[in-house]
Amino acid sequence: MEFCELTIGDARKLLFDRQITSFELTSALLERIKKYDDEIGAFITVDKDLALEQAKKADQDISDDNISALTGVPIALKDLLCTKGIKTTCGSKILDNFIPQYDGTVVSKLKENGAVIIGKTNMDEFAMGSSTENSSYKITTNPWNREYVPGGSSGGSAAAVAAQFCCAALGTDTGGSIRQPASHCGVVGLKPTYGRVSRFGLVSYGSSLDQIGPITKDVRDAAILLNIISGNDKMDSTSATVDVPDFTRAFDQFEKDSLKGMTAGIPKEYMSVDGIDPEVGKVFNEAKKILEALGVKIKDISLPHTDYVVAAYYIIAPCEASSNLARFDGVKYGFRENACEDLIDMYKKTKSKGFGPEVQRRIIIGTYALSAGYYDAYYGRASQVRTLIMEDFSNAFKTCDFILSPVAPAPAFKIGENIDDPLTMYLTDIFTLSANMAGVPGISVPAGYSSKGLPIGIQMMAKRFDEMALLRAGYGFEKTIQLDKRFPDL
C-alpha cells in the first residue's frame, strides 16, 4: 500500500505497530503535495518544516509508548481554523498577514491527540461560496477533472483528501460546505449536530449555522475524527452539554443485516426540485435500492417548507455575516488601508479593498435586511420560517431514522460557469441548507459517478445528536458499494 492511500485507520495501525514512521508518511505526503498541488491548488499554506518537526515528535512519542488516537497522522485544516503561529487567511486578502496567537479548540484537540498538521486548505473567502472560486488566493481544481470545481466552501479540504495529500481533513459547514465538496470530490463529509463541536477558534460566518466536521476517505475515519473533536467547551457557550458516545461503536459487530429495522425517509418535496440532473437521479435511485437491499425501509415523507429554505437561508446567513465580519475594520488585525481621510473612510477603504465581491455582496444583503424598516420583513420573517423548517424536521424524524437525499442537484460544474450568477449558485444548495437551519447532522457518502467520471454522493440527515445513525447507515452503504478505495489518478 502506498503512503498516500492510507486512511487514518490504516495509518494508525502501521504507525503504532512500528511498521512505518510518521516522518516517512509525512515526508511522502509533502512530496506528493509538492508534485501535484500546483495543479490542484488544495493548500494555501504548507509549513513543511513544522509538519516534519511534529512528525519527529510523534515518532518519539510512539517509541516512548506515549500513544494517542492520532499520534503521527497527517491532517489538513481548512484555513479558517485558527492555528497558533500558522497564518490563517480565511481565503481572504483581508487576513493575508494574520497569525493567530492561539489554537482553536478543534486544533488543540487534534494536537493533544498527536496529529501532524500538514497544511491549511483553500476555501471560498470566509466560507461564502459553493465552488472555492471565491478564494482570494487560488482556484482549486477537482482532482477527478481539472476543468471542474471541487465544490465549496471547504473545496481545498475535500480536494486534499481526494488527491491523497493527507489522511483526512477538517472543514466547516454553514450551508453544505463540508457535504457538497465531499460529494463533488468523492470523499466522505460529515456535518455534526449544531453544538456537537466547539466553534472556538473558527472564524465565524453564520454563528447559528457554522459547524466544524471531518472530511475523510471512509466513514470509519469520520467517526474517529468526530470522537476527537466533539464535546462541550467552556470557550463556546453554544457547544452542547451532551454526552459524546464512542462513535466507532457504530461499526461494532457490523453484520450484513445490521441496518435491518432502520427507516429512511425521502422527502417528496426534494424529488420535485427543479433541475435535478438525471445522472444524480440515477445514482440516488441506485443508492435507495442498495439501502433497501440492506434491510432499510424506505418511506415517503414531507418537509413542507422546502421551497422556502434557500430564501430564508440567504437572509439569515448574510445577516449574521454582516454582523460577524464588521470586526475586520483595520484596527485589531489584518489588512489596513492607511491612505484615508478619517476613521470612517479608513473602515470603508480597508473593507472594500480587503473583501472580495461575494463577501461584499453578502454583507450588503445582510445590512439591508437588518436595516430600520426592513428588519421585520426580512430577518424577522426568515427566522419565523426557520422555526417552521425546524418543525418540519422534528415531525419527519418521528417516522424515520434518517432522511435520504442527493447532496447537490448536479455533479460539479465547470470552473467559471456560475461565477457571475450568484442566485443560480445559491439555488444549488437546496438539499444541504436545511440541516444547518434545523441544526441536525448530515453526512455525504460517495455513491457513484457521472458519465464524465465526476463523483456523486448521497446525503443522509438524522435527528439532533444522532450522528450514530448516519455513521451506521453510511458504513453499511459504503461497505456495499465499495467506492471508498477509489481515488483519481493525478
Partner 1 sequence: MKISTDEVTKIAHLARLEIDESQKEKMADQLSHILQYIDKLKHVDVEGIKLSSGAAFMNNVLRNDELKVSPGPDVTLANAPLRDEDFYIVPRIVK
Q: Which residues are catalytic?
A: 78, 153, 177
- In the complex, the smallest distance separating the C-beta of residue 376 from partner 1, rounded to whole angstroms, is 10
> Is residue 93 at the binding interface for partner 1, with CB under 8 A as the rule?
no
Q: With CB under 8 A as the rule, give the number of residues binding partner 1.
A: 75
Residue from 53, 367, 419, 480 touching partner 1 (CB under 8 A): that is 367
Q: Which is nearer to partner 1, 140 or 436 (CB)?
A: 436
Scanning 49-57, 131-139, 273-281, 331-339 for contacts with partner 1 by CB under 8 A, the matching segment is 331-339
> Is residue 439 at the binding interface for partner 1, with CB under 8 A as the rule?
yes
> Is residue 213 at the binding interface for partner 1, with CB under 8 A as the rule?
no
Q: Which is nearer to partner 1, 61 or 337 (CB)?
A: 337
What contacts 488, CB < 8 A, 6 or more positions away?
143, 144, 145, 162, 163, 186
- In the complex, the smallest distance separating the C-beta of residue 394 from partner 1, rounded to whole angstroms, is 11
Contact status, residue 429 vs residue 191, Cβ threshold 8 Å: no
> Is residue 271 at the binding interface for partner 1, with CB under 8 A as the rule?
no
Scanning 134-142, 145-153, 260-268, 347-355 for contacts with partner 1 by CB under 8 A, the matching segment is 347-355
Query: Taking Cα atoms as reference points, which of 270, 168, 187 lies closest to residue 455?
Result: 187
From its phi and psi, is residue 347 left (phi > 0), alpha (psi between -120 and 50) or beta?
A: alpha
- In the complex, the smallest distance separating the C-beta of residue 104 from partner 1, rounded to whole angstroms, is 15
Residue from 360, 468, 479, 480 touching partner 1 (CB under 8 A): that is 360
- In the complex, the smallest distance separating the C-beta of residue 340 from partner 1, rounded to whole angstroms, is 6
Residue from 66, 238, 285, 395 touching partner 1 (CB under 8 A): that is 238
**Scanning residues 163 to 202, which ones bind partner 1 (CB under 8 A)?**
193-195
Q: Which is nearer to partner 1, 96 or 147 (CB)?
A: 96
Residue from 247, 335, 397, 487 touching partner 1 (CB under 8 A): that is 335
Could you tell me the three cell numbers for 145? Answer: 477533472
Residue from 19, 65, 101, 253 touching partner 1 (CB under 8 A): that is 101
Residue from 57, 297, 348, 479 touching partner 1 (CB under 8 A): that is 348
**Scanning residues 24 to 83, which ones bind partner 1 (CB under 8 A)?**
none
**Scanning residues 278 to 317, which ones bind partner 1 (CB under 8 A)?**
305, 307-308, 310-312, 314-315
Residue from 91, 104, 330, 448 touching partner 1 (CB under 8 A): that is 330
Residue from 23, 137, 200, 347 touching partner 1 (CB under 8 A): that is 347
> Is residue 426 at the binding interface for partner 1, with CB under 8 A as the rule?
yes
Could you tell me the three cell numbers for 306? Answer: 422546502
- In the complex, the smallest distance separating the C-beta of residue 392 from partner 1, rounded to whole angstroms, is 12
- In the complex, the smallest distance separating the C-beta of residue 424 from partner 1, rounded to whole angstroms, is 10
